[in-house]
């Protein structure tokens, strides 16, 4: 099983090596690493080229101007050829050296393998594989687990309670993911919308969402949604309204406010 890792970069030389090293250290080497760069002006591309020359697996580097983060992610979707894909942006890391091996084991659990007539490769695969996320500081040191934790059983309705699975810990079946591009109307919350739509499609195809029961991603808390917090909240409200309806969304946001007050 091949896993496509999509890394979006722009002037990311100060944090990129951490990401590249975490991929290169994986025990599971059936990897396609797509580095989608927005025409960086620093050493990002040259670092990626050096990394490519050192790797035994396929590394594709695309550097050109884009229309923003989600436009770049859509480019990665179009290029991906792995069985599953995940977005691991500059500064994010895979949690441990056996993270992709954990994903592989979760993708072909025994209960599916028992039904195979020819080989394990022909088993029905889950629509999504997901896990927990650790929050790190700027040096990549562990701080704490993400406040929103993944549920034991995930469905597209789970995100009414917030984005319970971090984008970097959400491995989507590529056959589904490629049919669902990021919505360019959103600048900060298209990832929430995309995950919900992927899960809806998995349910439509009667494919399970499988919990790896492992920490699979590390990421720095200070991202674009933190910097642009107010705009991000407005977009997330619109995403939830579209998927869950206005009444349900208003009720959940009242609960979010109450939850903050009683902490």
pLDDT tens per residue, range 176-213: 999 999 999 999 999 999 999 999 999 999 999 999 99
For 242-260, what is the mean pLDDT? 75
Whole-number pLDDT of residue 118: 40
- 121-164: per-residue pLDDT in tens? 446 789 999 999 999 987 778 899 998 999 999 999 999 988 99
Distance (Å, rounded) from C-alpha 100 to C-alpha 1? Answer: 10
Tallying the residues shown for the chain, one arrives at 263
CA 72, 189, 21, 43 dihedral sign is positive
The answer to whether residues 76 and 61 touch, using CB atoms and an 8 Å cutoff, is no
pTM: 0.89
Say how far residue 217 (Cα) sits from the centre of its chain. Answer: 9
For 1-5, what is the mean pLDDT? 96
């Amino acid at each position: 099983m091949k896993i496509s890792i999509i890394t979006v970069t722009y002037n990311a030389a100060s944090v990129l090596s951490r990401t590249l090293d975490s991929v290169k250290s994986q025990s599971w080497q059936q990897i396609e690493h797509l580095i989608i760069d927005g025409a960086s002006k620093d050493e990002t591309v040259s670092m990626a080229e050096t990394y490519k020359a050192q790797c035994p697996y396929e590394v594709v580097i695309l550097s050109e101007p884009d229309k923003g983060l989600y436009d770049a992610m859509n480019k990665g979707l179009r290029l991906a050829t792995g069985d599953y894909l995940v977005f691991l942006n500059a500064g994010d890391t895979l949690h441990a050296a056996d993270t992709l091996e954990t994903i592989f084991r979760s993708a072909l659990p025994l209960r599916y393998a028992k039904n195979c007539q020819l080989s394990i490769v022909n088993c029905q695969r889950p629509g999504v594989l997901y896990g927990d996320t650790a929050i790190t500081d700027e040096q990549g040191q562990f701080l704490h687990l993400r406040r929103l934790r993944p549920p034991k059983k995930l469905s597209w309705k789970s995100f009414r309670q917030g984005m319970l699975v971090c984008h970097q810990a959400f491995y989507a079946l590529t056959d589904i993911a490629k049919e669902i591009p990021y919505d360019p109307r959103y600048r900060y919350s298209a990832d929430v919308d995309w995950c919900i739509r992927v899960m809806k499609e998995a349910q439509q195809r009667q494919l399970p969402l499988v919990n790896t029961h492992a920490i699979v991603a590390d990421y720095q808390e200070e991202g674009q949604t933190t910097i642009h917090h107010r705009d991000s909240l407005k977009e997330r409200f619109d995403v939830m309204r579209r998927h869950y309806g206005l009444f349900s969304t208003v009720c959940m946001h009242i609960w979010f406010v109450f939850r903050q007050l009683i902490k």
